[in-house]
């Protein structure tokens, strides 16, 4: 199917890459999105609204960035995306944004949890996790004391 998007123009969307956020995505009215590869940046994707061509979020799989990121889910936290079916594998995406210095910041506090087999997704705030909504990427090297 074809999709008009702000960042990419008109693109072909693989129907198996379409997800629905049953509870919505906080701050937006759209509930149906497609994951579309970023042509100039193979490690990132665009989460493009099927309902609003102006709405597209840059997202990245933390595994692609070699991040040691494995949030612990509490029982039933992921119930909205119905994990547990045959072939289900939950995936994470982090919303990325540019900072004033031209770097990238990742929202580690509220990852997007996706069950591609079911076509369902949700944003999951990790309350009490200590993660931030503005983690710099690449991580700044810690200065060593003399």
Domain hosting 20: range is 2-136
Query: pLDDT per residue over 30-57, tens digit each?
Result: 999 999 998 888 788 999 999 999 999 9
Element (H, E) at 1: none
Residue matched to tokens 């770097």: 103
Please indicate, yes or no, if residue 144 is contained in any of the structural domains. Answer: no
The tally of domains found in the chain comes to 1
Q: What CATH number corresponds to the domain at position 79? A: 2.30.290.10
Instruction: Quote the CA–CA distance of 20 and 32 in Å, as a whole number.
Output: 4
C-alpha span between 89 and 94 (Å, rounded): 17
Percent of the chain with pLDDT over 70: 86
Q: Measure the CA–CA gap between 78 and 98, rounded to whole angstroms.
A: 29
96 within domain boundaries: yes
pLDDT computed for residue 144 by the predictor: 37
Residue 96: asked if its preceding bond is cis (omega within 30°), the reply is: no
Neighbouring CB atoms inside 10 A of 24's CB total: 13
Q: What is the token pair recorded at 93? A: 């995406």
């Amino acid at each position: 199917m074809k999709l008009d998007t702000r960042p990419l123009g008109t693109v072909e969307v693989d129907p198996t890459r379409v997800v629905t956020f049953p509870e919505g995505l906080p701050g937006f009215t759209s509930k149906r999105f497609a994951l579309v590869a970023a042509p100039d940046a193979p490690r990132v994707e665009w989460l493009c609204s099927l309902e609003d061509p102006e709405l597209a979020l840059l997202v990245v799989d933390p595994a692609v960035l070699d991040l040691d990121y494995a949030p612990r889910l509490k029982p039933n936290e992921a119930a909205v995306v119905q994990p547990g079916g045959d072939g289900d594998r939950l995936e994470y995406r982090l919303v990325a944004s540019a900072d004033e210095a031209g770097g990238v910041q990742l929202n580690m506090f509220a990852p997007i949890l996706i069950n591609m087999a079911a076509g369902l997704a949700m944003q999951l705030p990790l309350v009490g996790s200590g993660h931030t909504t503005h983690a710099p990427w690449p991580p700044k090297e810690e200065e060593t004391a003399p």
